[in-house]
Amino acid sequence: QAVVTQEPSLTVSPGGTVTLTCGSSTGVVTSGHYPYWFQQKPGQAPRTLIYDTSNKHSWTPARFSGSLLGGKAALTLSGAQPEDEAEYYCLLSYSGARVFGGGTKLTVL
């Protein structure tokens, strides 16, 4: 089974910009992996921010964007807010299977 890798933790200043990445042990992440990004706050269920690389939901703040960058999937947060402090998980698709990354704990400080 593939292993999906994320930065364990990142810190961003309020108003700053940060990029979270999602890599695959099988090689380059492409649109064919249909990358997802989920946000999870303590005690809550995950919430889908981005699906199919870059698509947003109505509830996804405009400051979040998804892309492919340097062979990985990426989630960029531009203009971080205190409420963005959370755990972020990516999910990649491998034919019929899905694999989550280990998550990135984002601190806004």
Partner 1 sequence: QVQLVQSGAEVKKPGASVKVSCKASGYTFTGYYMHWVRQAPGQGLEWMGRINPNSGGTNYAQKFQDRVTMTRDTSISTAYMELSRLRSDDTAVYYCARFDVDSYDMDVWGQGTTVTVSS
Phi-psi region of 35 (alpha: psi -120 to 50; beta: other; left: phi over 0): beta
**Nearer to partner 1 by C-beta: 2 or 17?**
2
Question: What are the angstrom distances between the C-alpha of 5 and each of 31, 40, 87, 97?
Answer: 17, 17, 14, 16
Q: Which of 14, 55, 81, 109 binds partner 1 (CB under 8 A)?
A: 55
Q: In the set 67, 79, 99, 107, which binds partner 1 (CB under 8 A)?
A: 99
State which of residues 27, 45, 62, 83 lies at the interface with partner 1 (CB under 8 A).
45
Cβ proximity to partner 1: between 26 and 51 the closer is: 51
Q: Which stretch binds partner 1 (CB under 8 A): 17-25, 30-38, 66-74, 77-85?
A: 30-38
**Whole-number Cα distances in Å, 39 to 23, 33, 53:** 18, 19, 15
End-to-end CA distance of the chain: 36
The smaller minimum CB distance to partner 1, of residues 18 and 49, is found at 49
